[in-house]
Structure 1
């Protein structure tokens, strides 16, 4: 009874800020401006398939880069002394203490045609590059802003791996490659799955980064939804339909990712 009473505030919070907003999205998605039931909004989402594909593609690239950069860094952090771990983790989280918009503005200053990077290149006679308003700039912005969400869960799992398991694999004749592929990586899969999910979901639905670093030529789902609710093309019904389709796609992607976690990773790795 006490447990139910303690959970009551959380349940109320979920109902007000999660369930009710989602129900409103569903209602708006299947109604027109007069409030009548319609499937027209869902049908119109199909004309933005290229935007969905672009968003998923760029989000997947950003997630892959975050994994390739974040996993080795998380591994290095997990092996150093606890005092140094605290310092490095603080440095990883430090950019997150700054306003998201300011961080993106900073990258605009770095990447613009007369920005710091191009001025440095011109100083050394290497010529200027067009970096701003490109898909590469959008991916770079997403990697910079979301990589802490990849590092932290992987780091938290790697620090819990018992060193005796790794030593046992080495005693059985496994080299470094096999120790990593058969022991460490399988045991760290829960952290990898959490990191991929935490990066991919905001990357696919981002709109500030794509708007400021990608320009109008790199429209993403978040920009499209923003236009329907706050832009000149005000149409909350279509915006809700796009949001609903996006939620379904994200749930499908999360379901696929969860298939890689068979529940055995917490038991230990596989030694061959």
Structure 2
């Protein structure tokens, strides 16, 4: 009876608020921290011919760091990491160059048109991601109208000696970057739009009244204030693009795989779960550590600005 009364008083005072606040932490622990710890544990296991294909202790060392050692010496993983970071970086820059004018235009149109344009931005999410990748595979084929259009444009620009019958696009890094830019462009536009929409338009008007040219107003007023949106959009594009699996597997070059495909092959084909887990942990640290450093210095800068 006393226990139930204490529980009732706790619910009356702060119980529901504690549950609501604690639910996201429970979600993160169960669906992020525990799986990550399991992957870390598998990464220090030893590959065996058993099921599952790894073991701890017994005839094998309890902690085996061979997978992490291979990461530093095997050129396959180094090239895969370099390819992934390069393709993701190029896709991020292209998404920024395409997405910034779009996001800025969204803030300058009327509200009725803005809702329509925002709907068009998120419209691709209403269809299957895999279906959209297959559509790009058809567009980049040698006999497609898209390839013929690019080929005609190329032949019109270059000398006759450089003319080609078709542009080889499939199974290249160009195809990977192109499809990633199409896929992740909304992830750049939406954070930029949210950042640009909060800007005070009177600042631009004041700068123009003081004699600044429109280009200088953009560089001195608009662009610096939109840096948080640029960073947020860049992270939302770069992180999933660096670990992308489906796009490189369908349109990429098997001789130059990205790290997501390497992890998948290690798990499925090679059945080397410790090595695959080591690569996954290294990729996660490579993505998370810069984010944590940015968050730390951003919070520090905001604290100093508040003082």
Correspondence for 1:39 among 20, 45, 65: 65
Cα distance between partner residues in 1 of 2:147 and 2:201? 46
Cα distance between partner residues in 1 of 2:83 and 2:196? 33
* CA apart distance, 1:167: 1.5
Cα distance between partner residues in 2 of 1:19 and 1:162? 40
Which runs of no fewer than 5 residues in structure 1 stay unpaired?
268-272
* CA apart distance, 1:163: 1.0
Cα distance between partner residues in 1 of 2:151 and 2:100? 34
* CA apart distance, 1:8: 2.8
What's the Cα RMSD here? 2.2
The C-alpha deviation readout for 1:188-212, integer Å capped at 9, x for no partner, is 1111110000000011000110111
Q: Which residue of 1 aligns with 2:21?
A: 7
Cα distance between partner residues in 2 of 1:125 and 1:179? 37
* CA apart distance, 1:260: 8.5
Cα–Cα, structure 1 residues 41 and 189, in superposed 2: closer, same or farther, change >3 Å? same
* CA apart distance, 1:256: 6.1
Cα distance between partner residues in 2 of 1:147 and 1:124? 25
Cα distance between partner residues in 2 of 1:11 and 1:220? 32
Cα distance between partner residues in 1 of 2:292 and 2:213? 34
Correspondence for 1:53 among 82, 94, 100: 82
Runs (4+) off by over 4 Å: 119-126, 255-262
Query: Are residues 1:73 and 2:102 paired?
Result: yes
Cα distance between partner residues in 2 of 1:183 and 1:124? 38
The C-alpha deviation readout for 1:159-212, integer Å capped at 9, x for no partner, is 111111211222232221221112111111111110000000011000110111
* CA apart distance, 1:61: 0.4
The C-alpha deviation readout for 1:242-269, integer Å capped at 9, x for no partner, is 01100111123435655885449x99xx
TM-score when scaled to structure 2? 0.80
Tell whether the 8 Å contact from 1:210 to 1:218 is kept in structure 2 after alignment: no
Cα distance between partner residues in 1 of 2:136 and 2:226? 32
Tell whether the 8 Å contact from 2:184 to 2:237 is kept in structure 1 after alignment: yes
The within-5 A match list for 1:193-208 is: 193-208=231-246
Tell whether the 8 Å contact from 1:154 to 1:195 is kept in structure 2 after alignment: yes
Which runs of no fewer than 5 residues in structure 2 stay unpaired?
1-13, 47-53, 57-61, 156-164
Cα distance between partner residues in 1 of 2:68 and 2:168? 38
